[in-house]
Structure 1
């Protein structure tokens, strides 16, 4: 017998985690956001739970859950690939963080579907920490690199004048 309230909580938590991850993407003007990543996590949890026949634990469903997880991860790769853009003029690749956020949101949804709340919440905290701290570290390193490049260019320029 399934506990519909437990199923609802698993789906709700997955969706809210996806929304939290998506808010960061929304605030940065990225092509995915709160609704998209909320749906990714919700769908991943739903598929995982369906593979478990909506039982509250995976006992006896390991093969089915494994196949469902493989299908979600493979399918989500196509969604992630859709946000990666290679700009030929500048030789820059954009959208990798957004694609990775889609992938990791699916993984957190799977974890919610299995019912591992603590793991899902720990992963969410780490994801949001990485978005916040990682952005600052990247900006700092970029500024340092640009200063170093400016000094090297000035040094090369002064040597050419000699």
Structure 2
């Protein structure tokens, strides 16, 4: 077991550590995805799992390129990982729906963004950071939601519709 842990926590990316990282990112993405699906959101278990694994793989690709091209004078292998966040923005935008003056899906969009960063952390081998972040996301999505409902935060805005028969000029 100690040998396995040494392999998966090593800075060097191996097949074993890569498989372990993908599996961990799948599990962490699933935890958040289950919570989102439980709330009735369209993006759920499969979506969050795939995003987390994809971000993890992109991060490992960045590491692999650096690892295999030591001494490379031109180029920036970290660009792969950097572009993950840009691409995730498009997915997040797709979850935001505007209906009759209200916007829905912002929390899911933010969840998609953070699960990508959690997947990237796993891809770097930052397992504890990824685990703690996942737990904090669950706190935000569950406990802070209950607190929000209790204190009626966000319920101050109301839509008022006025119908006017004519315009009075002065």
TM-score above 0.5: yes
Higher helix share: 1
Residue-pair matches, total? 142
Among 132, 139, 151, the residue aligned to 2:142: 132
How big is the shift at 1:2? Answer: 4.5
Instruction: For structure 2, list consecutive stretches of 5 or more residues without a partner in the other structure.
Output: 1-11, 159-170
Matches within 5 A, 1:1-162: 2-53=13-64, 63-65=76-78, 67-88=79-100, 91-142=101-152
Mapped partners of 1:134, 1:60: distance in 2:
48
Mapped partners of 1:80, 1:139: distance in 2:
24
SS at match of 1:69: helix
Mapped partners of 1:10, 1:135: distance in 2:
30
Alpha carbons 2:25, 2:56 under 8 Å: kept = yes
TM-score by length of 1: 0.79
Mapped partners of 1:104, 1:33: distance in 2:
14
How big is the shift at 1:25? Answer: 0.6
How big is the shift at 1:71? Answer: 0.7
Which residue is 2:164 aligned to?
none
Mapped partners of 1:119, 1:55: distance in 2:
22
Instruction: For structure 1, list consecutive stretches of 5 or more residues without a partner in the other structure.
Output: 150-162
TM-score by length of 2: 0.75
Mapped partners of 1:14, 1:130: distance in 2:
19
Alpha carbons 1:18, 1:38 under 8 Å: kept = yes
Mapped partners of 2:37, 2:87: distance in 1:
23
SS at match of 2:64: coil
Mapped partners of 1:5, 1:50: distance in 2:
15
